[in-house]
Amino acid sequence: MNISMELLRNFSSVGAGASREFSYPFTRKTKQRQLSFVYLSRTSYSFKSCSATLSLTAEVEEKPKLDVDKAALLARELRKTFNSGRTTNYEWRMSQLKSIEKMLEEKENDITEALYKDLSKPGLEAFVAEISQVKSSCKLALKELSRWMIPEKVKTSLTTYPSSAEIVSEPLGVVLVISTWNFPFLLSLDPVIGAISAGNAVVLKPSEISPATSLLLSNLVEEYLDQSAIRVVEGSVDETTALLEQKWDKILYTGSARVGRIVMAAAAKHLTPVILELGGKCPSVVDSNINLQVAVRRIIYGKWACNNGQACIGVDYIITTKDFAPKLIDALRYELEQFFGKDPMESKDMSRIVSSSHFARLASLMDDDLVSDKIVLGGQRDVNQLKIAPTILLDVPEDAQIMQEEIFGPLMPILTVEKLEDSFKIIQSKPKPLAAYLFTDDEQLKKNFVQNISSGGMLINDTILHVATDGLPFGGVGESGMGSYHGKFSFDAFSHKKAVLYRSFNADASIRYPPYTTQKQRLLKAVINGDIVSLILALIGR
Amino acid sequence: METLRDFERDLEEMREYYSHGKTKEASWRKTQLKGLLTLLKEKEGDILNALKQDLGKHQIGILIKTLNLALDSLRGWMSGRKAKLPQIALLTSAEIVPEPLGLVLIISSWNFHFGLSLEPMIVALAAGKTVVLKPSELAPASASLLATATSTYLDNKAVKIIQGGPSVGEQLIQQRWDKIFFTVGSAHVGRIVMSAAVKHLTPVTLELGGKCPAVLDSLSSSWDIKVAVKRIVHGKFGCCAGQACRAIDYILVEKKFTRTMMELMKSMIKEMFGENPKESPSIARIINKQHLLRLKNLLKDPHVDASTVFGGSVDKDNLFIEPTILVDHPLQAEIMTDEIFGPLLPIITPEKIEDSIQFINSKPKALAIYCFTKNKTLQRRMISETSSGSVTFNDTIIQYAADTLPFGGIGGSGFGRYRGKFSFDTFSHEKAVTRRSFLTEFWFRFPPWNNHKFQLLAFTFNYDYLGLVLVILGLKSYRQGLNDI
């Protein structure tokens, strides 16, 4: 453990150069395609780094902390940059986005490495769920930015004739992005890309629960991006509090509803608009008339192959009919074995639980007296490796803790109902989730589901994929958050839509001005209503 | 007045009513909009009377236009928008479905009581929600008219008016809402509302105010000058006597141009409001004594008093303040720190009109900037170098009438936007809906993972379809390993 501490310290002090050297041997070995061997060695390594993680936090404490004064200084510096107009410039935005793209090309290994350290995230999952998503966001912004920035011309009406009008997208100023640990890379850089493309200066605060990625982000941003306008602040509660004291022009927070409230309360002091990306219990309703194999694979993909359930849009629980449940469980059992092998605890294709406190929380959910006898599959756990096997629980009671909070882990309760329509009531009785999934071939059921279930996003017959669609907004409703981003929506989220109206001095109608006579009032009403007949009548004085 | 428990029960009933889904139906929405339209047509006289009682005001604004727009556009607004997908997403469709947010609270302001109460209500109803409206207690006549009129014309189960003072408002914002729409004008109260909204994570739209400047360039044509000054006088004194969040707060004009402008302005005020403006029915009163005293205090500062060049008389009994113009008062005076919200018009005279940009930027962001100029460069600079809710060139106030433009503030002037379709969006949640079929599936999406699958995914994410096909057919080998991508 001491050794790994040393390594980590080197890593942190020397920065990217050291980390590249450090990760090199592993890369080499993969080239020989001795996958299992590599993973074995990497697992043990990551295990070491995990215990070192705790000491690392202590080490961060020793560093000069970001207190309120320093945070204020930081905010002032960035505001100065913003006020100079530097970030508003199109060329600047493009150059920063290009740097991010370059960074993604050059540092892909380091990123995968850091994600592995923090979460044992499988390389492929890191690529699919994080790196490639950031890449495509960046690419889209680079391609579309010039178009997004063009003011939108709008029609004007008779009331303001003659005039022309447009909506100008204006950067908001200096924005704060507070991200989280489950997709620490994606959820940090995706909003930052939005903020940059809209022309803002930005401070990013990555999560201290994923320290390797946090450190890497800090180093990479320093190396690749404009320090006068884009900064990373590492740290935990104290640093976040110091940052929240400052006045920002927008705050985007990803995480829990509890902290979301703290962020919003802090924002209220400065009347700062917020985007809150929270979570919730995302249900998956499964009908019996489906292609079971495909559906089950997709459900597994959306639960265990998605950061082992530690995702805000991951499937939280399943609702199906009583008759169908046994079939569904059999299929899940079979496909899980196909994916993760006979002993899932040995699988290298599954992330681990992020921290011991989260592990303890999940363990207590399983040990709850109300549910401990409901486990029909899995249940194995290893506190040393912070691993929990895919676990399925059948017919857990509604009042069990596992149905009260977001699970955020590899436990999957299955609720059964007599008729599938009854599932709506269960979902509606809970706070609105970030995503809702439905597997069915019944068109009417699809329609009812879309109509009656309120959730941030909705995906029929698949999981997770809807967030990879740039054309769709990603955001919650109710307890799952407010505001949305992704693609063009990110640009809009970090822009102010300024209404601009151009009038000429010609055609100045005297009816607008006092003294207001009865005839003027009639005329004005006719103009506003666009009522040509009464307009003429009023004009000829009838 | 209702007790807390009473309206808690009311709200529970409204939520229950909402959950039955009736308000989501297009036909219900249409009926409500038509009800409002009838209300406005049949009660126009009463509304005008109430407004006169409260403020001595005259016109009811442009509600009918909004209503017609909402009725005409409802279908279009309600239908989802298709989202584009990459080709690889075979047999998949995606759309954005606007979904009503549920129960909303609208807290409106007294200065444009009907406009600011009914405008958001129209669209909230169009968006299929249940609405609680708390009108301002400062304009009691229109508040009680709103209460009685809506109960006859609208669905009582879905629309409630709750009257009362600040204590009722405070209790209301503690309840659970799906959206709070707030227009009262003060940033201070805006903060209180947003802090209260935290408890239930309620999204808020805040329409606040700010000091809206009017920049008057030294125009050359006498017609242009005349029109500009006329529009400025109207945008200040003719706009609820300056008691509007988007009314002109102060003017920036070049020193050398000041005299020309002043002369015109004086004659224009006479033309519009007569020799004795107090007698004019075309200018509004000050809402109450407290506000009148606040305005009077602003004038009390000896330096400010000395800079008064026109008007300045205050009639406490009739709640009237004469249109008042101040030139070159000290910039740190109180009148330049807070929003004036009354018929006092400070004039600031920079040497060059371009200097006004810097001056505007030294103040909190305003809801609107008005700029009178024909100089294209200045227009461009005004748009790109200042920040405000909106910019209007060569006119005042009128931007609100353009319902194709969003109306809303930035920074200290609030956030969120409304008017027309923007209001509909404000009151809706844009639900992202994707539909997939069971027919297409990429086996390489799923674990256990290996380099082969990885390569296929990399091609997929780069939309490199040719590469994808080649690898699948075994015609192309993958060179890269999992960890040196």
Give, for all 542 residues of chain A, the pLDDT tens digit.
333 333 333 333 333 333 333 333 333 333 333 333 333 333 333 333 333 333 333 344 445 678 899 999 999 999 999 999 999 999 999 999 999 999 999 999 999 999 999 999 988 888 888 998 899 999 999 999 999 999 999 887 656 667 788 999 999 999 999 999 999 999 999 999 999 999 999 999 999 999 999 999 999 999 999 999 999 999 999 999 999 999 999 999 999 999 999 999 999 999 999 999 998 899 999 999 999 999 999 999 999 988 899 998 999 999 999 999 999 999 999 999 999 999 999 888 888 999 999 999 999 999 999 998 999 999 999 999 999 999 999 999 999 999 999 999 999 999 999 999 999 999 999 999 999 999 999 999 999 999 899 999 999 999 988 887 778 899 999 999 999 999 899 999 999 999 998 988 876 666 677 777 777 767 766 666 666 666 666 666 55
Q: For residue A299, what is the nearest residue in chain B, using CA coordinates?
A: B446
Catalytic pick from B239, B240, B245, B371?
B245
User: B58 at the A interface (CB within 8 A)?
Assistant: yes
Our CA dihedral for B388, B393, B397, B402, rounded to 10 degrees, sits at -90
For residue A30, the model assigns a pLDDT of 34
Q: Which residues of B touch A349 (CB under 8 A)?
A: 447-449
- If you measure CA to CA, which chain A residue comes closest to B392? A501
Residues of B in contact with A88 (CB under 8 A): 384
Beta-carbon separation of B273 and A515 below 8 A: yes
Chain A residue with minimal CA distance to B444?
A124
User: Does B15 lie at the interface with A, CB-CB under 8 angstroms?
Assistant: no
CB contact under 8 A, A294 and B438: yes
Instruction: Give the residues across from A387 on adjacent strands.
Output: A382
Q: By C-alpha distance, which of A243, A319, A264, A322 is closest to A70?
A: A243
- Chain B residues with CB inside 8 Å of A144's CB? none
Q: Which of residues 255-314 of B touch A (CB under 8 A)?
A: 272-274, 280-283
A156/B402 touch (CB, cutoff 8 Å), yes or no: yes
Compute how many other C-beta atoms are within 10 angstroms of the C-beta atom of residue A234: 19
Q: What per-residue string of b and e applies to A457-477 under the rule 16 or more CB within 10 Å gives b?
A: bbbbbbbbbbbbbbbbbbbbb
**B440 and chain A in contact, CB less than 8 A:** no
Cα–Cα distance for residue pair B298/A290, rounded to 1 Å: 73
Sign of CA dihedral A376, A378, A384, A386: negative
CB contact (8 A) between residue A473 and residue B223: no
Q: Which of B132, B28, B123, B117 is nearest to B77 (CA)?
A: B123
Which stretches within A200-236 are classed as H helix?
211-224
Is B371 in the active site? no
What residues of A are labeled active site?
Answer: 277, 312
Q: Which residue does chain B place closest to A174, by CA atoms?
A: B411
Q: How far is A107 from chain B (nearest CA, A)?
A: 10
Q: Which of A498, A520, A525 to mutate to test the interface with B (most CBs of B within 10 A)?
A: A498
Q: Which residues of A touch B395 (CB under 8 A)?
A: 160, 163, 501, 503
CA angle B170, B172, B174 (to 5 degrees): 75
Q: Which residue has the tokens 């005076």?
A: B333
CB contact (8 A) between residue A515 and residue B272: yes
Residue B228 forms contact with A (CB below 8 Å):
yes
Cβ atoms < 10 Å from Cβ of B48: 16
CB contact under 8 A, B238 and A26: no
Chain A contact for B2, CB < 8 A?
no
Number of H helices and E strands in chain A, helices first, is 20, 20
Q: What are phi and psi of B311, to 5 degrees?
A: 65, -145
CA gap A486, A474 in Å, rounded: 6
List the single best residue of A36, A79, A140, A496 to mutate versus B (max B Cβ within 10 A).
A496
> Is A135–B458 a contact, with Cβ atoms under 8 angstroms apart?
no
Interface size between A and B, measured as CB pairs under 8 A: 314
* B472 in contact with chain A, both atoms CB, cutoff 8 A: no
